[in-house]
Amino acid sequence: MNFFHSDKAIRDSQPDFSGRRKLLLVLMLGGMAMLVGRAIDLQVINKQFLQKQGNIRQINTVSVPAYRGKILDRNGEPLAISTLVHSIWANAQFCKEYAETRPKQIPEECFESRKKFTQLAKIIKVPLPKIKKAFAEESGRKFAYLKRRANPDVVKKVKSLQLPGVYFEPEFKRFYPSGEVSAHILGYTDIKDVGQEGLELMYEQILQGRPGRKRVIRDGRRQIIENIESIEAPAPGQNLELTIDQRLQYLAYRELKTAVKKHQARSGSLVILDAKNGDILGAVNYPSFNPNGKKNLKYIRNRVFTDKFEPGSTTKPFVVAAALDGGFIRPNIIIETHGFYRVGRQLVRDHHNYGDLDLTTVLKKSSNVAASKIALAMPSDYFWQFYNKLGFGELPGVGFPGETSGFLLGYQTWSDFEKAALSFGYGISSSALQLARAYTVFADDGILHSVSLLKREQDFDAQRVLSEQTARKVRAMLEHVVKKDGTAYRARVDGYRVAGKTGTVKKSSAGGYASDSYLSIFAGMAPASNPRLVAVVVIDEPTGGDYYGGIVAGPVFSKVMGGALRLLNIAPDAEVTMPLLLVGKD
């Protein structure tokens, strides 16, 4: 064997570092050096900064919505509840940011999303220009609500579109099962779930919860993919238990609505009180509004609490009671009326010449002349104080938003005619609630009750205004108003004794009183032997032909009071006179 090689063979066996091989080697070594350098930069030099930036983009602290307290009626029936829904929001910069960071992974939807704007606008019922504005990249916005508290079916449809940059945020939405029936009592919350009217506004601090906080991990599309930890648990709001009986609300609203429409009236209000403790069992108005939908601001105020009016002849029982209790007239007094009575330069008139009247007939026929004479027999300061003790001219004390105190002019400036006018309900104003409260003095044997919308053990603010004897005497007189020859025969309730008083009031206008604009009022209680309920009905500007309180408001009282007494299982105190309905073959 030849163990020696030629020079040529040796040259052929040595590495060739020239040309392309040298270039490739240099590139490989350079790439390796860059990778090592980048690894050192990421893992050592900028480790903390990059971790922080990664956490900012992926780990977030988010708010956890709190459950708003329920509003319940006296029997535990829900009147206002919160349900978990989702709000839909958009990040107009989503596709742009995605393109900058991962240009080869841009979701296909980013190229097609503009085509789906019309579908989105139709589903969430938002104008198309508003949708396009929210998605305009030049706006620079990364957050814009498209639809707050959307219904579940809407959310489902929007999710099916798979639009990039559209997200869903859990929130609570307020829902009112009774709709317009109790809308004026409850009020409503705004888009941020803050109370705006009624009890929602009145008890905002009690009902609202305290939101919690938690840390979450989001993916590239800002969707929450994992909950890390709870920082602070949400605290739910407190529940409210009302004095309202929702059964009576439905009954009262139905009958009031029917009457307002029948008599083509402007509006109507009705309030029911527990005669023994002043609890507000029902308070309705018509027209109303739907708290679950779009609100008509014209109908939002609760007229039972906020609207004041001159109560007219419904004040006459107070005049009789004040004079009897103060000893200024005798129970058996006979008053001459003759149809008119001159007071200073003014004339007080009755609808008819009733002649000589006893006190029962004064109320039964609703004589302005007799009421004026009784009022003028009392000292002005005593008369004023009695009205004031009944709560006229002062807030009822419920604290309801917009609650009115009414108006009671100071006695120091009274003329004789102004004093006389007060006896038949002019020159004084009250709300329906104030008037109903004042009638509790007759219903509970001289005790005036405070009024409340929240359940309570008893009325600690009750006060005696009349003697028991006087209260019972006047209540017995008021039973005759509902007799066949009284002014409120249509207010009777079959099977129950009813006591009450009508009022037909001319409404004030520029320069005096309108000749064709009236309030029809009835205030009463039942069962008269031992009253359990007090109710006031006010129909504003009936235009269907009838306008007298006994004809317009009386029948509403009858139907509502009759239904309420039976719903509450209150025993009848009179004979049933209505004929029985016989069921048989045709």
Task: Report the sign of the C-alpha dihedral through residues 237, 74, 521, 358, in that order.
Answer: negative
Q: Which residues contact 240 (CB under 8 A, 6 or more apart)?
A: 69, 70, 71, 72, 199, 203, 206, 207, 454
For 23, 42, 43, 460, the CA distances from 31, given in Å and listed in that order, are: 12, 16, 18, 89
Q: How far apart are CA 339 and CA 370, in angstroms?
A: 10
Structure tokens at 106: 């841009």
Among 313, 380, 430, 431, the one annotated catalytic? 313
Q: Tell me which residue has tokens 């708003």.
A: 68
Structure tokens at 519: 């309030």
Half-sphere exposure of 163 (CA within 13 A, CB side): 28
Q: How far apart are CA 129 and CA 120, in angstroms?
A: 12
Q: Kindly provide the b/e burial profile for residues 205-240, where b requires at least 16 CB atoms within 10 angstroms of the residue's own CB.
A: eebbbeebebebebeeebebeeeeeeeeebebbebb
Look at residues 410, 7, 455 and name the one whose alpha carbon lies nearest to residue 244: 455
Q: Tell me which residue has tokens 């007939």.
A: 361
The DSSP code sequence of 231-262 is EE--BPPPPEEBS--HHHHHHHHHHHHHHHHH
For 31, 42, 54, 220, 290, the CA distances from 47, given in Å and listed in that order, are: 22, 5, 11, 21, 58
For 273, 325, 423, 462, 561, the CA distances from 536, given in Å and listed in that order, are: 9, 24, 19, 20, 10
End-to-end CA distance of the chain: 137
State yes or no: is 515 an active-site residue.
Answer: no
Task: Report the sign of the C-alpha dihedral through residues 431, 436, 440, 441, in that order.
Answer: positive
* 338 and 352 Cβ atoms separated by less than 8 Å: no
DSSP bridge pairs for 493:
496
Q: How far apart are CA 167 and CA 551, in angstroms?
A: 59
Q: Which residues contact 397 (CB under 8 A, 6 or more apart)?
A: 450, 451, 461
Phi, psi of 72 (to 5 degrees): -120, 150
Rg (CA), the chain: 39
Helix ranges (H only) for 6-46 are 7-13, 20-40
Q: How far apart are CA 582 and CA 86, in angstroms?
A: 56
For 101, 192, 422, the CA distances from 166, given in Å and listed in that order, are: 19, 20, 66
Active-site positions read: 313
